[in-house]
Amino acid sequence: MGIVTGKPHPDVESAASALMPFSSGLAADGYALEVSAAATGSLQVEIVAGPDACEDCLIPKEMFKGMLSSRLGSEGVAFSELILVYPAG
C-alpha cells in the first residue's frame, strides 16, 4: 500500500506535514489527526474524536486510508504499511 524502503522508521514529521490538509478538515468536524511511527517501517495515523465531534462526518475507514496513503505517496513519504485507527463507537 505504501512505498517500501529500507528505512527503519518513517519520517513522522514529513508525514504530518503532508497530511496537514486532512488535519484541517478533520478539525472543523471536531477531530484531531495524530501521526506516529508504529512497527518497523509502519506509519500510524489515529483519528481522535473531540467532545463535539460529528460522528456522521467521517468517511468510511478504508476509503480514508486510501486517500491518506495516496497523499503520503505523492509527497514522497516512505513507509511500509499505513495503520489507520478510527475512534471507537
φ, ψ (nearest 5 deg) of residue 32? -120, 150
C-alpha cell at 16: 504530518
Q: Which stretches of the chain drop beneath a pLDDT of 50?
A: 1-8
Give bridge partners of residue 75 from the DSSP assignment. Answer: none
Tell me the average pLDDT of the chain: 88
First to last CA, the chain: 26
What per-residue confidence (pLDDT) applies to 5? Answer: 43
The reported pTM is: 0.84
